Structure 1
Amino acid sequence: MYEYAIAWEWLSFAVRWLHVITAIAWIGSSFYFIALDLGLVKRPGLPVGAYGEEWQVHGGGFYHIQKYLVAPASMPEHLTWFKWESYATWLSGFAMLAVVYYGGADLFLIDRSVLELAPWQAICLSLASLAVGWILYDLLCKSPFGKNTWGLMALLYIVLIAMAWGYTQIFTGRAAFLHLGAFTATIMSANVFFIIIPNQKIVVADLIAGRTPDPKYGVIAKQRSLHNNYLTLPVIFFMLSNHYPLAFATEFNWIIAALVFLMGVTIRHWFNTTHARKGKPTWTWLVTVLIFIVIMWLSTVPKVLTGEEQASLSPRQQTFVENGHFEAVRDVVQGRCSMCHAAEPVWEGIARAPKNVKFETDGEIAAHAHEIYIQAGRSHAMPPGNITEISDEERKLLVAWYETTVEGK
Structure 2
Amino acid sequence: MSSFRRHTCVAFTAAVLVIAHSAAPAMADDIPGKIAEASGILNDALDFSQPPVLPTIEAPRKTDIRASIDRGVAFLLADQNANGSWGSATRTKGLNIFAPVPGAHHAFRTATTSLCISALIELESGGLCQDVAAVAESIDKSEAWLTEHLPNLRRATSDAIYNVWGHGYSIQALVRMHGRHQADAAKQEQIVTLIKSQFDMLTRFESVDGGWGYYDFRYGGNQPTSSSISFVNGALLVAMAEARDIGVEPPKRVVDRAIAALRRQQKPDFSYLYGEYLQYQPMRGINRPGGSLGRTQCCNTALRYWGDLSITDNVAKNWLYRLYVRNGWLDIGRKRPIPHESWMQVAGYFYYFGHYYAALSMDQLPAADRAPYQSMLAKLMLDRQEADGSWWDYPLYDYHQPYGTGFALMTLKRCLPD
Q: What band does the TM-score fall into relative to the shorter chain?
A: under 0.3
Whose helix proportion is higher, 1 or 2?
Answer: 1
User: TM-score, with normalisation over the residues of structure 2?
Assistant: 0.25
Whose strand proportion is higher, 1 or 2?
Answer: 1
Structure number with larger C-alpha Rg:
1
User: TM-score, with normalisation over the residues of structure 1?
Assistant: 0.25
